[in-house]
Amino acid sequence: MPQTQTSSRDVRYDVLGIGNAIVDMIASADEALLHREGIAKGGMMLIDEARAAHLYGVMGPATITSGGSAANTIVGVASLGGRAAYIGKVKADEVGAHFVHDIRASGVSYATAQASDGPITAACYIFVTPDGERTMNTFLGASQNLSTADIDEALVASAAITYLEGYLWDPPAAKDAFRTAAKIAHAHGREVALTLSDSFCVDRYRAEFLDLIRSGMADIVFANESELKSLYETSDFDSAVVALREDAKLGVVTRGELGSVIVGRDRTVAVPAARIDTLVDTTGAGDLFAAGFLHGYTRGADHETSARLGGLAAAHIIQKIGARPGVSLKELAEQNGLSV
């Protein structure tokens, strides 16, 4: 592993995302359907291919869009005018081709080799209840075969920030790829950001996530309020923030309509949420907040401005179906005086 640090002149990308490459199937549903199917509202459950086929059969008319947590964030960065790249595994099938087309058309550099055999491209079956809450059921498919062989050292070295999703901790091979990418980034003087993904994911890997944060493998930690409370096994938000301040170099915590809290070693900054007209679908809210924050951060904006940019991107995404921007976020930011 190279030990010499590269300079800022060598930065080709503001943010490189690494995650599970997934296509989302999004449908409206009532809570009675979730109850009948034994689905815990508001979380993410891993399912097998047979369960995926069953859920697709019982869900109503679906909106099909490329997704995946880190991929959504990276597309958001590109929409804001940032230089963005992505690593994630799909199969060379029809759904995989849909994912590849979408992410490249969004202005993201994507060159991960497609699998020629093995499971089909990953899909997430998302049920959106009338209150806008999304409940995810994910078949990891080809995405779980992401491995260290897919980590391009030159690409990681050329990105100011490598952004990793907590969901990568589910597939064992992807976990190794996660560690490899983080080591490469740090060897080249870059930063690593980690999103905890969801509270169920934190429940599965709490000790390992804490080790990633405390060891310094993750420089920036993104979480929502429930994920943070789960991480520190407390119902008290303030005490969880104190713990995060002790453990992380920088914490970015979203709180829905309460806005966000940026937790640094020296100070904590609370930033109000952006105003919305109608809540439609919370899918991708955290992903797009991270996109806005990271774009501001890599462009040298202060933490409060970066959080406001994240809040604006999140506000846009929750007023539409799906987790990919429906407008140019760069233009939206400019219209709201948040151009960076």
Dump pLDDT digits (tens) for 7-20: 556 899 999 999 99
Per-residue pLDDT tens digits for 59-75:
989 988 888 999 999 99
Residue 28's pLDDT band (cuts 50, 70, 90): very high
Mean pLDDT of 316-331: 93
User: pLDDT at residue 36 above 70?
Assistant: yes
pLDDT at 168: 87
Strands 84-87, 13-18: pairing is parallel
Sheet holding 134-139, edge to edge: 44-46, 134-139, 122-128, 22-28, 63-67
Local structure of residue 145 (DSSP, 8 states): G
pLDDT at 75: 98
Question: Are 312 and 326 contacting, i.e. CB atoms less than 8 angstroms apart?
Answer: no
User: pLDDT at residue 1 above 70?
Assistant: no
Question: Are 184 and 157 contacting, i.e. CB atoms less than 8 angstroms apart?
Answer: yes
User: pLDDT at residue 4 above 80?
Assistant: no
Report the interhelical angle of 285-298 vs 69-79 (nearest 10°): 50
Q: Which residues contact 92 (CB under 8 A, 6 or more apart)?
A: 114, 115, 116
Longest dimension (CA), the chain: 57
In angstroms, the CA 240 to CA 203 distance is 15
Local structure of residue 113 (DSSP, 8 states): P
Long-range contact pairs involving 275-279 (C-beta distance under 8 Å, separation at least 24) = 275/315, 276/315, 276/318, 276/319, 277/319, 278/319, 279/131, 279/132, 279/318, 279/319
Tell me which residue of 280, 295, 298 sits closest to 328, measured CA to CA: 295
State what percent of residues in the chain have pLDDT above 70: 97
pLDDT at 132: 87
In angstroms, the CA 153 to CA 150 distance is 9
Tell me which residue of 19, 128, 13, 118 sits closest to 67, measured CA to CA: 19
Local structure of residue 115 (DSSP, 8 states): B
Q: Which residues contact 82 (CB under 8 A, 6 or more apart)?
A: 14, 15, 294, 295, 298, 299
pLDDT at 9: 61
Residue 198's pLDDT band (cuts 50, 70, 90): confident
Question: Are 219 and 191 contacting, i.e. CB atoms less than 8 angstroms apart?
Answer: yes
DSSP for 65-91?
EEE-HHHHHHHHHHHTT--EEEE---B
Per-residue pLDDT tens digits for 131-190:
988 899 999 999 989 999 999 999 999 999 999 999 888 888 889 999 999 999 999 999
Strands 250-254, 260-264: pairing is antiparallel
pLDDT at 321: 83
Report in angstroms the alpha-carbon separations of 244 from 161, 229, 269. Answer: 20, 10, 14
In angstroms, the CA 41 to CA 51 distance is 17
Alpha carbon dihedral 57, 60, 61, 63, in 10-degree steps, equals -90
Say what the pTM is. 0.90
pLDDT at 2: 34
Q: Which of 51-55, 77-81, 279-283 reaches the highest mean pLDDT?
A: 77-81
Per-residue pLDDT tens digits for 226-236:
999 999 999 99
Domains belonging to the chain, first-starting first, are: 8-20+70-110+148-335 (3.40.1190.20)
